[in-house]
Structure 1
Amino acid sequence: MKEKLKEHIDNVISLTDDEFSLVLTHFTLEKHKKNDFIIKEGEAVTECYFVVAGLLKLVHDDQNGKQHIVSFAMEDWWESDFSAYFSQTKAKMSLQCIENTVVYAISLKNHQKLSRESPKMQRFFLEKANSGHIASQNRILSFLTSNAKERYEQLLKQYPLLIQRVPKTLLASYLGVSRETLSRLSS
């Protein structure tokens, strides 16, 4: 498990074995079953998660009870309700397992401590934050400028493995279309 985290970090920065051993002390390994909630809307968000194995969905339930999927996270992705995590407020979204999932969790305190102790990790976290911000902006632009078919094709092109693992109902929610519309788009 720790090899996956090391390889992921090494794709951005290079760490010695000793440096990685220090990094690892700031994380905890967690295992969750399918349908478990790692974060529940309205609760404190204490950790950010690196997905070692499995699949997650970040969702927001509106006042009418409709579920909006903000993002998915599979292996080698990071996820949390980042607004609540960094501001130490209550979650506005829930993070739920779509599959049995293994994650490395890091508290904000350990995130900040690790960033202070290791300029390399500070750079790593900055790179990951920038990548996440760019992906988020691209998703927003996609909703503003693309129709449902174009959004589906973008998702297919960008994340072909994700499409194979996510149930069609969840994909439809993520794309902002009905299940029936998604069936027409994917046929």
Structure 2
Amino acid sequence: MNQELRQHIEKIVSLTDEEFDFVLSHFNQKRFLKHQFLIQEGDTVDNDFFIINGLLKASHRNEENKEHILQFATEGSWITDPQAYHNQTKATLNIQCLEDGNSLFITLDNKEKLCNSLQKMDSFFRKKTTKEYILLQRRILCLISNNAKNRYEDLLKQYPSLIQRVPKTMIASYLGVSRETLSRLATS
């Protein structure tokens, strides 16, 4: 499990064995079960989760109780409610497990201690956050600029195995289309 985190970090910065042991000392492990919520709207958000295996979704329910999926987190990705985590406010998102899995997580306090102690990790988290910001911008532009077919094709490129792992209603929610529209897209 620890090797997955090390490989992920070393895509951005290289670490000695001693440095990685120090990094790892700031993380804890959590197993999760399908249907479990790691974060629910209104919760205090203490952790940022690195997914070793499994699948999670970040979503928000509007006043009509319609779910809007913002993110899927698969192996090798991170998930939290960033606003609540970084600002230490109440969650506005729900993070739910779609499959059983394992994660490593870090508290904000431990992340700050780690970044203050090891410049390489400050660089890692800064570069990782920038990459996520760019992906978010790309997703927003895709939602406002592309038609449903292009959004579907973009999803297939970003998450090639997701179609087999997630119900079509969740895919439709992520794309901002109806289930019927998604069915037409999948057969065209």
- Residue 42 of structure 2 corresponds to 42
Tell me if 1:81 matches 2:84. Answer: no
Structure 1 residue ranges, 4+ long, deviating more than 4 angstroms after superposition? none
Give the partner amino acid of 2:72: F
Identical positions, percent: 49
- Residue 181 of structure 2 corresponds to 181
Give the partner amino acid of 1:87: N
- Residue 145 of structure 1 corresponds to 145
**What CA RMSD, in Å, does the superposition of the two structures yield over aligned residues?**
0.7
Give the secondary-structure state (helix, strand or coil) at the position aligned to 2:52: strand
Tell me if 1:154 matches 2:150. Answer: no
Give the secondary-structure state (helix, strand or coil) at the position aligned to 1:186: helix
State the Cα distance separating 1:101 from its structure 2 match.
Answer: 1.8
State the Cα distance separating 1:167 from its structure 2 match.
Answer: 1.6
Whole-Å separation in 2 of the counterparts to 1:161 and 1:102: 19
- Residue 135 of structure 1 corresponds to 135
Gap runs ≥5 in structure 1: none
What are the superposed Cα offsets for residues 6-50 of structure 1, whole Å, 9 maximum, x if unpaired? Answer: 111111110011100000010000000000000010010001010
- Residue 111 of structure 2 corresponds to 111
State the Cα distance separating 1:155 from its structure 2 match.
Answer: 1.0
- Residue 20 of structure 1 corresponds to 20
Whole-Å separation in 1 of the counterparts to 2:125 and 2:163: 27
Whole-Å separation in 1 of the counterparts to 2:177 and 2:118: 44
Whole-Å separation in 1 of the counterparts to 2:82 and 2:71: 12
State the Cα distance separating 1:130 from its structure 2 match.
Answer: 0.4
Whole-Å separation in 1 of the counterparts to 2:47 and 2:128: 16
Give the secondary-structure state (helix, strand or coil) at the position aligned to 2:72: strand
Tell me if 1:67 matches 2:67. Answer: yes
TM-score by length of 1: 0.98
Give the secondary-structure state (helix, strand or coil) at the position aligned to 1:60: strand
Whole-Å separation in 2 of the counterparts to 1:82 and 1:158: 21
What are the superposed Cα offsets for residues 113-133 of structure 1, whole Å, 9 maximum, x if unpaired? Answer: 000000000000011100110
Q: How many residues align?
A: 187
State the Cα distance separating 1:162 from its structure 2 match.
Answer: 2.4
